[in-house]
Amino acid sequence: MTTTSLRANTDRLWDSLMQMAKIGATEKGGVCRLALTDLDKEARDLFVKWCKEAGCTIKIDKMGNVFARRSGKDDSLAPVVTGSHIDSQPTGGKFDGVYGVLAGLEVIRSLNDANVQTLRPIEASIWTNEEGSRFAPAMVSSGIFGGVFDLEYGLSRPDLDGKTMGEELKRIGYAGSEPVGGRPIHAFFETHIEQGPILEHDKKTIGIVQGGLGQRWMEVTMVGVESHAGPTPMRIRKDAMVGAAYVISEVNKIGNSFEHACATVGLVQCSPNSRNTIPGKVFFTIDLRHPQDETLSKMAAMAKEACEKAAKANGLELEYKEIWYLPPTHFDKDCVKAVEKAANDLGYSNMPIISGAGHDSFYLSRVCPAAMVFVPCEGGISHNEIENATPEHIGAGCSVLLNAMIERANSL
Q: Which CATH number fits the domain that encloses residue 208? A: 3.40.630.10
CB 331, CB 113: distance < 8 Å: no
190 and 298 inside one domain: no
In sequence order, the β-bridge partners of residue 92 are: 31
86 and 231 inside one domain: no
Mean pLDDT value across residues 391-404: 98
Q: Where are the alpha helices (DSSP H) in 221-332?
A: 240-257, 293-314
pLDDT tens column, 198-229 = 999 999 999 999 999 999 999 999 999 999 99
pLDDT of the residue at 62: 98
Q: Which residue, 81, 78, 77, is CA-closest to 68?
A: 81
In sequence order, the β-bridge partners of residue 221 are: 283, 319
109 and 182 inside one domain: yes
- End position of a domain, from candidates 326, 348, 365: 326
Domain tally for the chain?
2
Q: Looking at the predicted structure, is the pLDDT value of residue 1 above 80?
A: no
263 and 291 inside one domain: yes
Average pLDDT, the chain: 97
Phi, psi of 29 (to 5 degrees): 95, 5
349 and 223 inside one domain: no
pLDDT of the residue at 238: 98
pLDDT of the residue at 220: 98
pLDDT of the residue at 2: 41
167 and 58 inside one domain: yes
355 and 293 inside one domain: no
**Rounded to 5 degrees, what angle do the CA atoms 288, 294, 300 make?**
35
Mean pLDDT value across residues 233-253: 98
3-state secondary structure at position 390: coil
3-state secondary structure at position 31: strand
- End position of a domain, from candidates 326, 345, 366: 326
pLDDT tens column, 41-93 = 999 999 999 999 999 999 999 999 999 999 999 999 999 999 999 999 999 99
Which residues span the domain enclosing 145?
3-213+328-409
Q: What is the pTM of this model?
A: 0.87
- End position of a domain, from candidates 265, 297, 326: 326
241 and 322 inside one domain: yes
175 and 87 inside one domain: yes
CATH number at residue 259: 3.30.70.360
333 and 254 inside one domain: no
Mean pLDDT value across residues 144-159: 97
The helix (H) or strand (E) run that includes residue 15 is helix 10-21
Q: Looking at the predicted structure, is the pLDDT value of residue 405 above 70?
A: yes
pLDDT tens column, 319-354 = 999 999 999 999 999 999 999 999 999 999 999 999
359 and 397 inside one domain: yes
Q: How far is CA 270 from CA 6, 91, 155, 237, 281, in A?
A: 54, 21, 28, 16, 6
159 and 16 inside one domain: yes
pLDDT tens column, 156-202 = 999 999 999 999 999 999 999 999 999 999 999 999 999 999 999 99
pLDDT tens column, 273-328 = 999 999 999 999 999 999 999 999 999 999 999 999 999 999 999 999 999 999 99
Q: Looking at the predicted structure, is the pLDDT value of residue 4 above 90?
A: no
